[in-house]
Amino acid sequence: MTQVPDISNKLYINNAFVDSVSKKTFPTINPATGQIIAEVSEAQEEDVDLAVAAAKKAFARRSPWRQMDASERGKLITKFADLIERDAQYLSELETLNSGKPLEAVKAELKAYVNVLKYYAGYCDKIYGNTIPVDGTGFCVTKKEPIGVVAQIIPWNYPIGMAVWKLGPALCTGCTLILKPAEQTPLTALVLAALSKEAGFPAGVINILPGYGPIAGEALCLHNDVGKVAFTGSTDIGHKILEYSAKSNLKRVSLELGGKSPLVIFDDADLDEAVNIAHTAIFENHGQNCCAGSRTFVQAGIYEQFVKKATEKAKNRKVGDPFESNVLQGPQIDQPSLDKILRIVEESKKQGAKLETGGSRIGDKGFFVEPTVFSNVTDDMSCAVNEIFGPVQTILKFNTLDEVIERANNTTYGLAGGVVTKNINNALVFANALQAGSVWINCYDYITPQTPFGGYKKSGFGKDLGADSLDDYLATKTINVLLPVKN
């Protein structure tokens, strides 16, 4: 990996890379080695004020951004996507260095992210209101308008992906924005900032503020000139963001939060296919996935066979240097994440879960953990209740459809779920009954630009992706005209 350029180490405000006002910086760590990659400018409250002011000015009525044709806005987003595609190799390497994600996986993900931006580019001139046949002699139309200045706070597990998921609908609808990347993974967001400037976005439309959540994130959420906060992250922080909205200007909020998603496998399923689906559902991205299939329910008739095959597959999963082509699992993001995983593993063992494989740290450099499989798991065990955010497969046994529906819904979360079966009736009954925002049948984590993604219950509200996501960035204005009546 080449040295990170200086341009990637600063705040991006009003189309310029600048030091924070305080000149403070914070270290960015390579999770595969634990060593510092770069020192990055740390946004403080005064930097938030500058970025919000720039975004507010860019949203002014006569600004170039507000006067731009919607179709031209689409062309800008398309050019932005093309530049990401052009620099995919560099972005992929930087993402791997900063997040520990396997390089080949990041390359594949980037293709999908380019498609997300192009999807929203095509939607720019297709946002419109309605005419309404009102009572009396009135003529009524509704108009869809951008919310205005938007704060977007994203997590570290898919740094480029989460940025694109937020940028796409905000730019499509004509909002201006301040994006705060996670403090663990700020580097690729700053490269995206440089590419957005090259694409030709007017000053102030896109601002990127690396920094810590309790400082920069809180300041954004409390700022009275921010009209909306879009957040992806933990449920605990989601609660705080709602409090900040209430304390400030009642800004609109959309939240994509945690999950403890069930994947249900019936005994009529193809066993090898089911094992593969379940394996990917939990071990993809090292288990650092909000919608990971982290509760694997297997029907009693195939339970023992499934556990045996799932354990063997986990044992054969290659863990190591994420730049190596055959590696499927790199490090966890940081030491606190590693510690949490190992703590839940130990708690679950004490509670009676059977450790089939894994459960330990790998080496003493970086934050690697073994792919782990638990069997004989009950619904009240730590590994079945808590969002582990790591490569830990918990396999629970069930007998009937009604039973597994009740158990699958017995959680405060409701982000996603899946079912593997040859019986379409069972599949559809389960899909209809599951209290979750996404349900996958005979697959898992099948997400495209067109499909809305978001949760129920404590997994949040609002959507990323699809046309539904645009609603979170638009306000509806009703215009009534009273027409004269001639006798």
Q: Which positions are annotated as active-site residues?
A: 256
* Residue of 463, 452, 448, 427 whose CA lies nearest to 263: 427
CA angle 164/104/95 to nearest 5° reads: 45
Looking at the DSSP assignment, which residues form a beta bridge with residue 476? 144
CB atoms within 10 A of CB 446: 11
Residues 438, 415: contact at Cβ < 8 Å?
A: yes
Q: How far is residue 108's CA from residue 88's CA, in Å, rounded to a whole number?
A: 10
Q: What is the dihedral of CA 185, 189, 194, 198, to 10 degrees?
A: 150
Write out the two tokens for 399: 């007998």
Cα end-to-end span (Å), the chain: 80
Q: What is the dihedral of CA 191, 158, 357, 419, to 10 degrees?
A: -150
Residues 150, 226: contact at Cβ < 8 Å?
A: yes
Q: How far is residue 21's CA from residue 404's CA, in Å, rounded to a whole number?
A: 55
